Structure 1
């Protein structure tokens, strides 16, 4: 991405992640979950990562969150390799700046603690309120609940997670992000387990947080339609590879990789006939390893050539902020 989008907060450079495959042999075989992935995240800007299950979306987020260490390449936060962050003080500072929002709002809250506890705990751990000042703590908790639309805050604070809806629980999680002053929020399919009727409210709140709190948002989803709603930039992943990325509107309106075209064609459209064929072949998703070669989508691509199965295509720049890995677009 060559445009100046403001302050760069997170940058992944040629990131690789391998996982061992269970085996009885002496040499443990490896599965490559992420292969040569690069990305940038800017303040007050959203990056959506789209792809089907097993494409490496969540693994990418977990590496940014330091839950997994990259097998190759680097991930930098404000210009510093996050693998160099190891002291307790530095880790606490990193946890303040980079926060996760989990897919399951039902499992991310302690059922034995009330909502006041869930908001107060990060404030106390990260010393965002004066020690022992109960009045200040209470006022801050109530203020955070109001910011995420959980009103009246006094009544919400006394409730337990099972007394809230899925959308309300996800708002509690977002309030915890705001509480510590997070600059980067990694949202792993935050609305996929919510009722359709309340998804828009959570997405609207995240959009407001992005601008009002100047957050950088990583939005992981399998739904390319919601990606357009919340993110300025879009990356399409397939079997651990970023196959197309750039300006969200441009990528969706003018998809150039066959896999992106398949995703876009699968979005429900009342103008389309139910008999229209999707733009791709049926086939198994390949198991990628460090010795695998070629384009991972070659087995399902209607345009596949011999070289597609032999070597991974290079990056082709289609516009100022639109890139693709596909031999169909190499000059």
Structure 2
């Protein structure tokens, strides 16, 4: 994968996101879903965000997509703060440039409309073709279907979502991203609901789009193996914190944070003994609040000390593009 950086498209700085917890208490408790997260996304480059359920991966993507507003910190798109994007025309341009690919390919398409409608609609809304020129519209729709490997295109366009497989529906969603000329694609576990046999095809298409269309890709997953395949940069999240991030290959081959080591040791490997223990202690995943202190992984970490439970470690830079938040590496 390329080590070069293109244009900076998305930058998140010190993001914090809180959510209220349903409770009968007089003072409603608060959960901190994201705590001090920063990241950068570049043109023609992918960032994989890995972590288990509740780590804050999807919340991060939804803040980039302006579905949630951060409680503090900022997100910039091409140097412009998302909070300043408010008018209808500004939002329209933003939605065109930043697109989501949802986890559920079965619920992201309208069952009452055929595939032609699903591809034609974004072309018309964003004025990529003129409504009067019906032949041009047909040609564009068929060309987009062919680009995502749905051939014969004319036959596919006449079908309805229930007539397509999960993998084919996800390709339709990617065709809609291409249709509007998206610069940033936020893919929230796009293959988790697909059969194993067709996941590789969707991942290959995402990789192809990234390079050929010069897109910036955010790939959210709990599977560190596919995270390595799809992106040059990797961020590992745990309970709303980025605990390790940087060059994908460097992190995979030389994981430094105990949680990253645990994730990698949990990947099935035929060469490992079935009796080999995972690199972590048993323990509950904590509920993080604005009053929580220490490292969120301390209860499950084999190396935890009293210091780990008292204060969140600062960021340590290990190389040009490798960062970790752990006391083990602080001098």
Q: Distance in 2 between matches of 1:132 and 1:288?
A: 55
Decide whether aligned partners of structure 1 residues 79 and 138 sit closer, same or farther in structure 2, where only a CA change above 3 A counts: same
- Displacement of 1:133: 1.3
Shift of 1:83: 1.1
Q: Does 1:234 align with 2:254?
A: no
Pairwise CA distance, 1:22: 1.5
Residues 256-281 of structure 1, C-alpha deviation per residue, up to 9 Å, x if partnerless? 00000000000111110111000001
What SS does structure 1 have at the residue aligned with 2:32?
strand
Instruction: Give how far 1:26 is off.
Output: 3.5
Between 3-12 and 227-236, report the one with greater CA deviation: 3-12
- Cα offset for 1:130? 1.2
1:268 pairs with 2:279: no
Please state how far the C-alpha of 1:21 moved relative to its aligned partner. Answer: 1.1
2:27 corresponds to 1:23: no
Matched residue, 1:192: 192
Alpha-carbon distance in 2 for matches of 1:100, 1:321: 27
1:1-331 pair list within 5 angstroms: 5-331=5-331
Deviation at 1:207, TM superposition (A): 0.2
Secondary structure in structure 1 of the residue aligned to 2:303:
coil
- TM normalised by structure 1 equals 0.98
In 2: Cα distance, 1:137 partner to 1:69 partner: 36
Measure the CA separation in 1 of the matches of 2:296 and 2:218.
Answer: 24
CA distance in 2 between counterparts of 1:203 and 1:298 reads 34
Other structure's SS at 1:83 match: helix
Q: CA deviation at 1:5?
A: 1.2
Unaligned runs of 5+ in 1: none
Aligned length: 329
Which runs of 5 or more structure 2 residues have no equivalent in the other structure? none
The answer to whether the 8 A contact 2:11-2:41 is kept is yes
Give, in angstroms, the shift of residue 29 of structure 1. 1.6
Q: CA offsets per residue over residues 49-91 of structure 1, 9 Å max, x none?
A: 0000000000000000000000110000001110110000000
Q: Secondary structure at the match of 1:284?
A: coil
CA distance in 1, matches of 2:199, 2:26: 48
CA distance in 2, matches of 1:79, 1:197: 40
Change (3 A) 1:58 1:205: same
* Superposed CA RMSD: 0.9
Residues 104-142 of structure 1, C-alpha deviations (whole Å, 9 max, x = no match): 000100111100000001111111101321111111000
1-side partners of 2:23 and 2:225: how far apart? 40
Write out per-residue CA displacement over residues 128-164 of structure 1, whole angstroms, 9 at most, x where no aligned residue.
1013211111110000000000001000000011111
On the 8 A contact 2:221/2:227 being kept in 1, the answer is yes
